[in-house]
Amino acid sequence: MTARFLALYETPTDPEVFDRHYREVHIPLGRRLPGLRRYTVGRDVEAVRGGGPYYLVAELEWDTMDELRVAFASPEGRATAADATRLQALAPVRIMVFVLDDVM
């Protein structure tokens, strides 16, 4: 089982400010989350149906949903969440948490 946290950011009001903050502040905070197995970022994401294009998608992965919950309840998780609030002032975001099931 794999648990994922997905953040879809819309186009920021000031892409340069957003990118700098995300790269220099948010990624280093997120990388310190306990149990984090993988952290990937994608750019210029197009929705296949519904919704507009997304500026950035971030995908964080843990082995279990319990590990994800522990990570976000930790001091590192609270610091990352507080910074995410700052990012929302720069770009609207949609957040999802889910568990992956292998189908093949």
CATH code for the domain of 37: 3.30.70.100
Indicate the residue type of 10. E
Residue 85, domain extent: 2-100
**DSSP string computed for 62-76:** ESSHHHHHHHHHSHH
Q: How confident is the model at residue 74 (pLDDT cuts 50, 70, 90)?
A: very high
How does pLDDT run across 84-94, given as a tens digit for each residue? 999 999 999 98
Flag whether the pTM goes above 0.75: yes
Site of tokens 């950035």: 56
Asked whether the beta carbons of 22 and 56 are under 8 A apart, the reply is yes
Q: Residue 53: what pLDDT?
A: 78
Where do the H-state alpha helices sit in the chain? 15-21, 27-31, 65-73, 75-88
Q: Residue 60: what pLDDT?
A: 97
Q: How many domains, in total, are found in the chain?
A: 1
| Residue 48 clears pLDDT 70, i.e. is over it | no
